Structure 1
Amino acid sequence: MTSYTTLSRDLVLVGGGHAHALMLRMWGMKPVHGVQVTLINPGPTAPYSGMLPGHIAGHYTRDDLEIDLVKLARFAGARVIFGAADGIDATRKVIHVTGRGEVAYDLASLDVGLHAQAPHIPGFAAYGIGAKPLDRYADRWAAYVLDVTVGAKKGQVAVIGGGVAGCELALAMAYKLKGLGRQSCVTLIEGQTKLASAIPGADRILREEMLGMGVTVVSAVAVDAVTQDAVLLKGRSSVPSEFTVGAAGGFAHAWLSASDLPKDQGGFVQVNDQLLVAGQEDLFAVGDCAALTESPRPKAGVFAVRAAPVLYSNICATLTGGILKKFQPQTDYLKLMSLGRKDAMAAKWGRCLASPKARLWQWKNSIDQTFMRKFSELPVMKPVKVDGPVALGSDDEQMLCGGCGAKVAPGQLSAALAEMPALQREDVLQGAGDDAAVLDIGGQKQVMSVDHLRGFVMDYGLMGRIAAVHALGDVWAMGAKPQSALLSVTLPRLTPAMQARAMREMLDGVGKVVRGAGAEIVGGHSAMGAELTIGLTVTGLMDGNAITLAGAKVGDALILTRPLGSGTLLAAEMQGKADGRDVAALYEIMAHPQGDAAEILKGAHAMTDVTGFGLAGHLMVMCRASGVAAEVCLADVPAYAGAEALADAGYRSTIYEDNRSAAPVFGPDSAKMALLHDPQTSGGFLAAVAAEEAVALAAQLRAAGHDAAVIGDVRAGEPSITLS
Structure 2
Amino acid sequence: MRAASTPILRDIVLIGGGHSHVGVLRMFAMQRLPGLRLTVICTDTDTPYSGMLPGYIAGHYDFDAVHIDLRRLAEFAGTRYFRDEVIGINRAARQVLCRQRPPVPYDVLSINIGSTPQLARVEGAAEQAVPVKPIRRFNERWLALLGRVRAHAGTTTIAVVGAGAGGVELTLAMQYRLRGELAALGRDPDELRFHLFSASASILPTHNAAVRGVFERVLSERGVILHRHCEVVEVAAGHLRVRSGEMFAADEIVWVTQAGGAPWLRETGLALDGEGFIRVRNTLQSETDPLIFAAGDCASLTDRPLEKAGVFAVRMGKPLAENLRRIVLCQPLLAYRPQRRWLALISTGDRHAVASRGWLFARGDWVWRWKDWIDRRFMRRFSEFAPMDENASPAPSEAIPLDAAEQTQAISAIAMRCGGCGAKVGATVLSRALARVHPIARDDVLIGLYAPDDAAVLRVPLGSALVHTVDFFRAFIDDPWLFGRIAANHALGDIFAMGGAPQSATAIATVPPGLESKVEDTVFQMMAGATAVLNEAGCALVGGHTGEGRELALGFAINGLIDATLACILRKDGMRPGDALILSKPLGTGTLFAAQARLQARGRWIDAALESMQQSNQAAVPCLIAHGASACTDLTGFGLLGHLVEMTRSSGVDAEIDLAALPLLEGAAETIAAGIVSSLQPANVRLRRALRNQPESLHHPNYPLLFDPQTAGGLLASVPAEKAADCIAALRGLGYARAICIGRVLPASEAVEPITLRT
Q: TM-score, normalised by structure 1?
A: 0.90
Q: Name the residue aligned to 2:650.
A: 625
Q: Distance in 2 between matches of 1:361 and 1:483?
A: 64
Q: Name the residue aligned to 1:144.
A: 145
Amino acid at match of 1:184: L
For 2:103, what is the secondary structure of its paired residue? strand
- C-alpha contact 1:564 1:640 (8 A) present in aligned 2: yes
Report the Cα offset of residue 373 of structure 1.
0.5
Q: Does 1:308 align with 2:309?
A: no
Amino acid at match of 2:473: L
Q: Distance in 2 between matches of 1:684 and 1:452?
A: 18
Q: Name the residue aligned to 1:454.
A: 474
Q: Distance in 2 between matches of 1:502 and 1:384?
A: 25
Q: Does 1:477 align with 2:497?
A: yes
1:211-252 CA-to-partner distances (Å, cap 9, x unmatched) read: 222211111112131122222223354332232111123211
Q: Does 1:574 align with 2:574?
A: no
For 1:547, what is the secondary structure of its paired residue? coil
Amino acid at match of 1:606: A
1:375-427 CA-to-partner distances (Å, cap 9, x unmatched) read: 11122224659xxxxxxxxxxxxxxxxxxxxxxxxxxxxxxxxxxxxxxxxxx
Deviates more, 1:488-497 or 1:59-68: 488-497
- C-alpha contact 1:620 1:663 (8 A) present in aligned 2: no
Q: Does 1:275 align with 2:284?
A: yes
Q: Name the residue aligned to 1:720.
A: 754
Amino acid at match of 1:96: L
Report the Cα offset of residue 152 of structure 1.
5.8
Q: Name the residue aligned to 1:584.
A: 607
Report the Cα offset of residue 281 of structure 1.
2.8
Q: Distance in 2 between matches of 1:663 and 1:445?
A: 37
Q: Name the residue aligned to 1:652.
A: 677
Q: Distance in 2 between matches of 1:270 and 1:61?
A: 36
Q: Name the residue aligned to 2:383.
A: 376
Q: Distance in 1 between matches of 2:175 and 2:733?
A: 40
Q: Distance in 1 between matches of 2:68 and 2:51?
A: 12
1:551-577 CA-to-partner distances (Å, cap 9, x unmatched) read: 111111100001011100000001111
Report the Cα offset of residue 25 of structure 1.
0.8
Q: Distance in 1 between matches of 2:345 and 2:142?
A: 23
1:131-167 CA-to-partner distances (Å, cap 9, x unmatched) read: 1111322221112212322446853211111111111
Q: Name the residue aligned to 1:527.
A: 547
Q: Distance in 1 between matches of 2:206 and 2:19?
A: 24
Q: Distance in 1 between matches of 2:288 and 2:113?
A: 20
Q: Distance in 1 between matches of 2:153 and 2:530?
A: 46
* Matched ranges for 1:461-540 at <5 A: 461-540=481-560
Amino acid at match of 1:300: A
1:13-61 CA-to-partner distances (Å, cap 9, x unmatched) read: 1100111101101111111111221110002111000001111111111
Q: Name the residue aligned to 1:293.
A: 302
Aligned residues with identical type, % of pairs:
37
* Matched ranges for 1:675-690 at <5 A: 675-690=705-720
For 1:697, what is the secondary structure of its paired residue? helix
Report the Cα offset of residue 464 of structure 1.
0.7
Amino acid at match of 1:522: V
Q: Name the residue aligned to 2:116.
A: 115
Distance 1:599 1:494, change over 3 A: farther
- C-alpha contact 2:160 2:197 (8 A) present in aligned 1: yes
1:570-604 CA-to-partner distances (Å, cap 9, x unmatched) read: 00001111010111111111112221112211242
1:447-488 CA-to-partner distances (Å, cap 9, x unmatched) read: 011111210112111111111110100000000011111111
For the aligned residue pairs, the C-alpha RMSD in angstroms reads: 1.7
Deviates more, 1:30-39 or 1:224-233: 224-233
Q: Distance in 2 between matches of 1:63 and 1:276?
A: 33
- C-alpha contact 1:645 1:671 (8 A) present in aligned 2: no
Q: Name the residue aligned to 2:417.
A: none
- C-alpha contact 2:207 2:358 (8 A) present in aligned 1: no
Q: Name the residue aligned to 2:414.
A: none
Q: Name the residue aligned to 2:735.
A: 705
Q: Does 1:188 align with 2:189?
A: no
For 2:121, what is the secondary structure of its paired residue? coil
Amino acid at match of 1:599: P
Q: Name the residue aligned to 1:432.
A: none
* Matched ranges for 1:361-440 at <5 A: 361-382=368-389
Report the Cα offset of residue 104 of structure 1.
0.9
| Match among 526, 549, 573 for residue 550 of structure 1 | 573
Q: Name the residue aligned to 1:600.
A: 623
Q: Distance in 1 between matches of 2:85 and 2:30?
A: 27
1:677-721 CA-to-partner distances (Å, cap 9, x unmatched) read: 000000000001111111111111111111200100111125521
- C-alpha contact 1:549 1:622 (8 A) present in aligned 2: yes
| Match among 558, 563, 571 for residue 586 of structure 2 | 563
Distance 1:584 1:157, change over 3 A: same
Report the Cα offset of residue 264 of structure 1.
1.2
Q: Distance in 2 between matches of 1:76 and 1:525?
A: 32
- C-alpha contact 1:617 1:663 (8 A) present in aligned 2: no
Deviates more, 1:163-172 or 1:544-553: 544-553
1:161-197 CA-to-partner distances (Å, cap 9, x unmatched) read: 1111111111111111111223111110111111112
Deviates more, 1:574-583 or 1:495-504: 495-504
- C-alpha contact 1:71 1:580 (8 A) present in aligned 2: yes
Aligned length: 669
Q: Distance in 1 between matches of 2:512 and 2:672?
A: 31
Q: Distance in 1 between matches of 2:330 and 2:681?
A: 47
Q: Name the residue aligned to 1:34.
A: 35
Q: Name the residue aligned to 2:238.
A: 229
Q: Distance in 2 between matches of 1:308 and 1:460?
A: 28
- C-alpha contact 2:81 2:479 (8 A) present in aligned 1: yes
For 2:272, what is the secondary structure of its paired residue? coil
Distance 1:450 1:123, change over 3 A: same
Distance 1:238 1:137, change over 3 A: farther
Q: Distance in 2 between matches of 1:708 and 1:254?
A: 40
Q: Distance in 2 between matches of 1:191 and 1:294?
A: 27
Q: Distance in 2 between matches of 1:153 and 1:478?
A: 58
For 2:381, what is the secondary structure of its paired residue? helix
Amino acid at match of 1:696: D
Q: Distance in 2 between matches of 1:297 and 1:442?
A: 73
Distance 1:154 1:601, change over 3 A: farther
- C-alpha contact 2:118 2:258 (8 A) present in aligned 1: no
- C-alpha contact 2:44 2:136 (8 A) present in aligned 1: no
Q: Name the residue aligned to 1:696.
A: 726
Distance 1:213 1:686, change over 3 A: same
Q: Distance in 2 between matches of 1:441 and 1:145?
A: 59
Deviates more, 1:481-490 or 1:714-723: 714-723
| Match among 358, 363, 366 for residue 349 of structure 1 | 358
- C-alpha contact 1:94 1:105 (8 A) present in aligned 2: yes
1:300-323 CA-to-partner distances (Å, cap 9, x unmatched) read: 111111111111111111222223
Runs of 5+ consecutive residues of structure 2 not aligned to the other structure:
184-188, 393-458
Amino acid at match of 2:297: D
Amino acid at match of 1:587: L
- C-alpha contact 2:13 2:106 (8 A) present in aligned 1: yes
Runs of 5+ consecutive residues of structure 1 not aligned to the other structure:
386-438
1:100-141 CA-to-partner distances (Å, cap 9, x unmatched) read: 231111111111111224221111111112111113222211
Deviates more, 1:505-514 or 1:570-579: 505-514
- C-alpha contact 1:450 1:471 (8 A) present in aligned 2: yes
Distance 1:154 1:61, change over 3 A: farther
